[in-house]
Structure 1
Amino acid sequence: MKLTKFTHACVRLEKDSKVLVFDPGNLSETDKALAGADAVLITHEHPDHIDVEAVVAALLGDGSLQLFAPGGVAAQLREKAPDAGARIHTVAPGETFDAAGFAIQSFGGQHALIHPQIPVVANVGYLVDSNVYHPGDSFVVPDGVGVQTLLVPIHAPWNKVGEVVDFVIGVRAPHAFPIHDGLLNEGGLGLVEGHVTRIGAKYGTEYRHLSSGDSVEV
């Protein structure tokens, strides 16, 4: 399976001529990420994880594109793209389903706390083919399964470096790559990734930096 990193939280998976896209948000190259996509997984409603205008255009432009998202996001998209309503699916934690030939398991439930005065929204993490785990904006460790490839939220208004490292330790995936890094400059990114690389290795996780457009086989 080919994994391609796009800016911030957007990741594209390709397998057997099928394409699955995570979180094409407004900080990412959505046109490139969504080109030829068969299915899209949305973790939550924040605009850095879903560029609603771009996603609606993709749904209306491709009558076979399937989308999976928490209830609030799914409802919003059905309202904006009623002709695509049958292809917009609501996902809750604890479900299993197929998306364009990829086997999906869902975890989590809510976005990590930013501040008590900022509402907490629904957030669903997705494990693909018992391999790649995208947690969205949370540090929920999938229960009862093993993760081979972890996508690590490197930096956000809701996390700190120690929590990032503890998440990597908790999941203990053999391989890890960055997501949610669009707000960091080169110096800040290097600092956080240094901690994740060094401490993660002690617990069996090999962390590798990917820049936007970089691909790797997983």
Structure 2
Amino acid sequence: MKLKAFFTLLLGLAILQVNAQPTVKPDMVKTNKGQLKIQPITHGSLVLQWNGKTIYVDPYGGSELYKGIAKPDLVLITDIHPDHLDTKTLDGLTLEGIKMVVPQAVADQLPEKYKSQAVVISNGQSTNQLGIPIAAIPMYNLPEAADAKHVKGRGNGYILNIGGKNVYISGDTEDIPEMRALKNVDVAFVSMNLPYTMDINQAASGVLEFKPKVIYPYHYRGTDGLADVEAFKKMVNDQDKNIEVRLRNWYPEAAKNKAAEVKKK
């Protein structure tokens, strides 16, 4: 009986461990120093793992989404909105002594316990963390206006050079000139959700201009639901088949709900 109870316990722990893993499988990108592992989390949140280091980008949605993933060695935060600066999620993670690369507006709103961990950079500035060069790129709405949801200079997009690969994280932006002028981007994460950022037409136009080798549509939930990323992919590849558009499920709960609705019909 004791042996049976032991195996039952092991089975239970295995089930818990499986349930703790992220619901979307990670992708791999080859660099000049091993593989870069890309783990979509939800909305604008992702995890990058390379050379034994783990980077959380805009941790959001609850710390339980990060179960089964190594604790961060670095955190990047793009903006002050709660789907980027999510203090509840931060509080649920193991962040003691971990640097957070942030714009000044985010640093100003960080809880006191995190302020000493902030590495503040503004648009056009850069820092080197974990041996990875990180540059802050503008992110903002068009046309520029004082009452825009994202004003120029407040938030940061980021470009990280990881093992010789340039990784662009757009943050909440439209197809601004600074994005369209980017060069030599290997992997890009580009937002597309109205009315907060841009529609798929603007996103496709911007992507076709700066031509990343790989593009992930992310941050694509707007007030009217999820953007049509399949249509975005078609727009891009109808004009440039060399751009690899990777569609991943950043909203597994929405997909689950949709499947349940179809089943009811």
Same fold (TM over 0.5): yes
Amino acid at match of 2:239: I
1:111 counterpart letter in structure 2: Y
Structure 2: segments with no counterpart, 5+ residues: 1-35, 253-265
Unaligned runs of 5+ in 1: none
Tell me how many residue pairs correspond in the alignment: 206
Q: Which has the higher contact order (CA 8 A, sep 6+)?
A: 1
Q: 1:6 to 1:147 in 2, by over 3 A?
A: same
C-alpha offsets along residues 143-190 of structure 1, whole Å, 9 cap, x if unaligned?
574211111213332312221111111211111112112347678333
Cα distance in 1 between the residues matched to 2:212 and 2:108: 34
Matches within 5 A, 1:27-176: 30-32=65-67, 35-58=70-93, 61-77=94-110, 80-82=111-113, 84-108=114-138, 110-113=139-142, 117-121=147-151, 122-129=154-161, 130-138=165-173, 139=175, 140-141=178-179, 143=181, 145-157=183-195, 158-176=197-215
Q: After TM superposition, give the deviation of residue 102 of structure 1 in Å.
A: 2.2
Q: Provide the C-alpha distance between the structure 1 equivalents of 2:56 and 2:237, rounded to a whole number of angstroms.
A: 26
Amino acid at match of 1:96: S
TM-score w.r.t. structure 2 length? 0.67
In the other structure, the counterpart of 2:18 is: none
Amino acid of the residue matched to residue 134 of structure 1? Answer: I
DSSP 3-state at the match of 2:128: strand
Whole-angstrom distance in 2 between the partners of 1:56 and 1:178: 28
The whole-number CA distance in structure 2 between the counterparts of 1:213 and 1:17 is 27
Q: Which is worse superposed, 28-37 or 175-184?
A: 28-37
Alignment-mate amino acid for residue 135 of structure 2: Q
1:57 deviates by: 4.2
CA distance in 2: counterparts of 1:209 and 1:16, whole angstroms? 25
Summarize the Cα distance change of 1:22–1:11 in structure 2 as closer, same or farther, 3 Å threshold.
same
Separation of aligned partners in 1, 2:66 and 2:112: 18
Structure 2 Cα separation of the partners of residues 38 and 206 of structure 1: 29
Q: Aligned match of 2:234 in 185, 194, 208?
A: 194
* Deviation per residue, 1:92-145 (Å, 9 max, x gap): 01122122332211111x422489554534121111115110010113427574
Deviation at 1:12, TM superposition (A): 0.9
How far apart, CA to CA, are the structure 2 residues paired with 1:177 and 1:14? 17
Mapped to 2, the partners of 1:87 and 1:187 lie a distance apart of 35
Structure 1 residue 22: deviation in Å? 1.3
Counterpart of 2:203 in 1: which secondary structure? helix
State how far apart, in whole Å, the 2-side matches of 1:196 and 1:182 are: 20
Amino acid at match of 2:112: A
Q: Measure the CA separation in 1 of the matches of 2:76 and 2:237.
A: 27
Which has the higher mean CA deviation after the structures are superposed, 19-28 or 118-127? 19-28
Report % sequence identity.
23
User: What is the DSSP-based 3-state SS (H/G/I as helix, E as strand, rest coil) of the residue aligned with 2:150?
Assistant: coil
Deviates more, 1:141-150 or 1:165-174: 141-150
Cα distance, 1:32 vs. partner? Answer: 3.9
Larger radius of gyration: 2
Match of 1:14 in 2: 49
Query: What's 2:248 paired with?
Result: 210
After TM superposition, which residue ranges in structure 1, 4 or more long, deviate above 6 angstroms? Answer: none
SS in structure 2 of the partner of residue 136 of structure 1: coil
CA deviation after TM superposition for structure 1 residue 46, in Å: 1.4
Range with greater deviation from structure 2 (146-155 or 11-20): 146-155
Shift of 1:28: 9.2
Change (3 A) 1:155 1:198: farther
| Alpha-carbon RMSD | 3.0
